[in-house]
Amino acid sequence: MTVTAAMVKELREKTGAGMMDCKKALAETNGDMEAAIDWLRAKGIAKADKKSGRTAAEGLIGIASSGTKAVVLEINSETDFVARNDAFQELVRGVASVALGTDGSVAAVSQATYPATGKSVEDTIKDAIATIGENMTLRRSALLEVEDGVVATYVHNAAGEGIGKLGVLVALKSTGDKEALNAIGRQVAMHVAATNPLAVRSSEIDPAVAERERNVFIEQSRASGKPDNIIEKMVDGRMRKFFEEVALLSQAFVMNPDLTVEAAIKEAEKSVGAPIEVAGIARLLLGEGVEKEESDFAAEVAAAAKG
């Protein structure tokens, strides 16, 4: 397969690797973009978090909650100017509120009736496009619900009540005190905002993702020239560390790094007065995948928690 300049450019933008490295990676992987990213990672030339594109996406994340149920969704606009528009912000809040009465899927939210217009959410957004003069889309949504407990929420970089650049839901099952439960839930939601875990528990991590990481670790370890039995132990060790780092409960708690999230929740059971189970998490970052210059995000969220 011929490696084109456009392919090399795309891979450079996704990985930050040099032109010749990108060209070689594409040649070695027969033009497969994802395989080329893994090839560069295995060589230590690119990082996993660089693989997303540079496609811009403005707009807002909206959150609505009713105690045992909460929804988070993303509505995109073409420019940040529109995201600061009062009418657009009200639309995002309104759609989030409507979404609470659905199963949380984009299809269900789109077809739900928007009370202020009497039309579907989809048609209401179309009308807003005509009024504001810029394209908008309901891109993603997620809903979490528990029978007994709370679904805690957190909005980072808030532009107003229930809207911002990043939204998190944390569903906690417990028969204990709801106010105390919501307090620990909000802290965990802030932690999720900062660390972006792949799943609550290591057992819930997508096997395909784990396998992909293992293959990258195998290639990296082979470069050491050590025998296969040593390489296997090296890879097993790196996979254990990988699971610890990307599963919520085993991560060091942002609010108190001396504890894991699991230990912090166990500690909170004293004030809640009952066992706590993390039933689910949802995290939506506006325009996820856009390459941005970021500060120490974990420290920023921790500072916001103390403020």
253, two tokens: 């708690």
> Is 80 exceeded by the pLDDT of residue 182?
yes
Question: How many percent of the chain have pLDDT more than 70?
Answer: 90
The pLDDT > 90 percentage for the chain reads: 53
| Nearest one of 60, 67, 130 to 95, comparing CA atoms | 60
Residue 222 is predicted with a pLDDT of 79
As given in the structure block, the two tokens for residue 181 are: 């439960």
Amino acid 302: pLDDT = 63
Q: Calculate ∠ Cα 149-142-197, nearest 5°.
A: 80
| Helices 19-28 + 5-15 axis angle, to 10 | 110
Q: Give 24-34 pLDDT, tens digit per residue.
A: 899 999 999 88
- Contacts for 203 with CB less than 8 Å, ≥ 6 apart: none
Average pLDDT on 149-154 reads 97
pTM given for the model: 0.73
pLDDT in tens, 44-68: 776 544 433 333 368 999 999 998 9
